[in-house]
Amino acid sequence: MFDAKDAKQDWDHDGLTNYDEIMVYNTSINNSDSNGDGIGDGKAVWLGLNPLKNYPNDFISLIKKLPESVQKEYCDKFVRHNELTKSGEYQTKFLLSLSKEEFQKAVKNGLISNKDWDGDYKSNYFEKFIAHLNPYVPNRTYVILEDGWNNEAKIPWIFVNDEFENSFNLPRENVYKLHGWDATWENFKKVVDDIAKKSTKNDIVVIGMYGHGDASGKFAFNNGSAKEPHVWINDDDIEKILRKINSKEIWITINACYAQYSIDHLKDANKRLCIATTFYPASLLDLMRNGSLYRERYGIQNYDLNGDDYISLREAVETDYETLRMFGHQDWIDKYYKLYEKPKGLADTFFVGDIHYDK
């Protein structure tokens, strides 16, 4: 017979009263670990977990491995409404990949709940498993977005407010946007000089150039004048000033007519990616952000080709190719697309930023 007195008891000694187990959590009053995961019902509730939910084995293993005070801190950080967040899933995999010594050091230094040890706006998991960077060394990303051809045209999403920065979790001060009248050759040189001063050999630079080129190896910048709106700059001169940037990797994408002719002039450097395309302005950047444009507009679902939940530059290019093939434009691929990467394979591990950093 179960009465009011029994309701206040804790028959299985798990820290929950019989009443709470029956009326609140629907857990067993005779089994201190209702789901059998090794974490008692009362402790699960204290941690913010659902004592009946079967969480990923990696997560449970990590919780058991952590000191009790750190367990609570970790769950407070990465569990929302009884669900392990995507960031928590990634951080768990990263922590379990550490050696015993690395793990103990992380606990000692209070780093367990810190998903960005080097403070470069890229998560530990992303750096180690996706982009193959060092999570102990800052790898900052600097971006130049240049469109000197369009003055009055509708501004693409990459130039609107902070949308680009938010998409890739980049500090606003690391993204330079030159659009319309601001996209002059002089301003472009100033931006390159600024990045050259701030960046280090561990950093990554992304340069997106949109507009028009010609077959002789020139690119059009804005001239800042309505009477003569454009000035043509030799690709060799562009390459010359880019040598000032001593970064780990540099990616140049040119969305312009005759863009393929620019690659031979801009590729002469180690750790450099050069892409020429004339298809969809900023399509590669838009695809790397989340792939939504391709899902919604073209019905392409396999933009994340290897299923790792991130879209590399290689996958972005391949999806662009697939889109063109869908519309019968293999000739466009052969004629207008060109990808240069040194060393080979760099496009597989190149990402503008960690799109899951705060999600």
Indicate if 204 and 264 belong to the same structural domain: yes
What is the Cα–Cα distance from 227 to 93, expressed in whole angstroms?
58
Q: Does 114 fall in a domain?
A: no
pLDDT for 185 beyond 90: yes
Helix (H, G, I), strand (E, B) or coil at 256: strand
Structure tokens at 235: 């690709």
Q: What is the mean pLDDT of residues 29-34?
A: 94
Looking at the chain, the whole-number percentage of residues with pLDDT higher than 90 is 57
Indicate if 15 and 43 belong to the same structural domain: yes
Indicate if 104 and 152 belong to the same structural domain: no
CA distances from residue 226 to 40, 135, 218, 223 in whole angstroms, order as listed: 73, 48, 21, 8
Indicate if 157 and 274 belong to the same structural domain: yes
Indicate if 193 and 156 belong to the same structural domain: yes
Kindly give, in sequence order, each residue whose CB lies less than 8 Å from that of residue 176, ignoring residues fewer than 6 positions away. 142, 143, 144, 145, 191, 194, 195
For residue 281, the model assigns a pLDDT of 46
The sign one gets for the Cα dihedral 117, 120, 124, 129 is negative
Q: Does 319 fall in a domain?
A: yes
- 52 versus 301: the higher-pLDDT residue is 52
Arithmetic mean of pLDDT over the chain: 88
For residue 103, the model assigns a pLDDT of 97
pLDDT for 280 beyond 60: no
Among residues 77, 108, 139, the one where a domain terminates is 108
For residue 19, the model assigns a pLDDT of 93
Say if strands 204-214 and 230-234 run parallel, antiparallel, or are unpaired: unpaired
For residue 226, the model assigns a pLDDT of 73
In this structure, what are the phi and psi dihedrals at residue 241, rounded to the nearest 5 degrees? -75, -25
What is the Cα–Cα distance from 350 to 219, expressed in whole angstroms?
25
Q: Does 121 fall in a domain?
A: no
Indicate if 70 and 169 belong to the same structural domain: no
What is the Cα–Cα distance from 257 to 324, expressed in whole angstroms?
16
- Maximal C-alpha separation, the chain: 94
Q: What is the mean pLDDT of residues 184-202?
A: 96
Q: Does 354 fall in a domain?
A: no
- The lowest-confidence range among 68-77, 83-92, 122-131, 215-224 is 215-224
Among residues 108, 140, 164, the one where a domain terminates is 108
- Domain containing 52: what range? 4-108
For residue 291, the model assigns a pLDDT of 62
Model confidence band, residue 359 (pLDDT cutoffs 50, 70, 90): low
For residue 357, the model assigns a pLDDT of 75
With residue 80 as reference, give the H or E element that holds it: strand 79-80
- The lowest-confidence range among 67-81, 204-218, 318-332 is 318-332
Indicate if 99 and 211 belong to the same structural domain: no
Indicate if 141 and 31 belong to the same structural domain: no
Kindly give, in sequence order, each residue whose CB lies less than 8 Å from that of residue 163, ignoring residues fewer than 6 positions away. 157
Q: Does 120 fall in a domain?
A: no
Model confidence band, residue 327 (pLDDT cutoffs 50, 70, 90): confident
Q: Does 54 fall in a domain?
A: yes
Q: How many structural domains are present in the chain?
A: 2
In this structure, what are the phi and psi dihedrals at residue 179, rounded to the nearest 5 degrees? -130, 140
Looking at the chain, the whole-number percentage of residues with pLDDT higher than 70 is 92
For residue 334, the model assigns a pLDDT of 82
Indicate if 270 and 165 belong to the same structural domain: yes
- 357 versus 75: the higher-pLDDT residue is 75
Kindly give, in sequence order, each residue whose CB lies less than 8 Å from that of residue 23, ignoring residues fewer than 6 positions away. none
Indicate if 171 and 38 belong to the same structural domain: no
> For 282-323, how does the pLDDT look when each residue is reduced to its tens digit (9 = 90+)?
567 877 877 665 566 666 666 888 888 888 989 888 888 887
Q: What is the mean pLDDT of residues 229-233?
A: 91
Helix ranges (DSSP H) in 183-276: 185-198, 235-242, 260-266
Q: Does 117 fall in a domain?
A: no
Closest CA to 51 of 7, 20, 76: 20
Indicate if 175 and 288 belong to the same structural domain: yes
Q: Does 357 fall in a domain?
A: no
Helix (H, G, I), strand (E, B) or coil at 63: helix
Q: What is the mean pLDDT of residues 104-130?
A: 96
Indicate if 225 and 100 belong to the same structural domain: no
* CATH code for the domain in which residue 281 is found: 3.40.50.1460
Among residues 76, 108, 140, the one where a domain terminates is 108
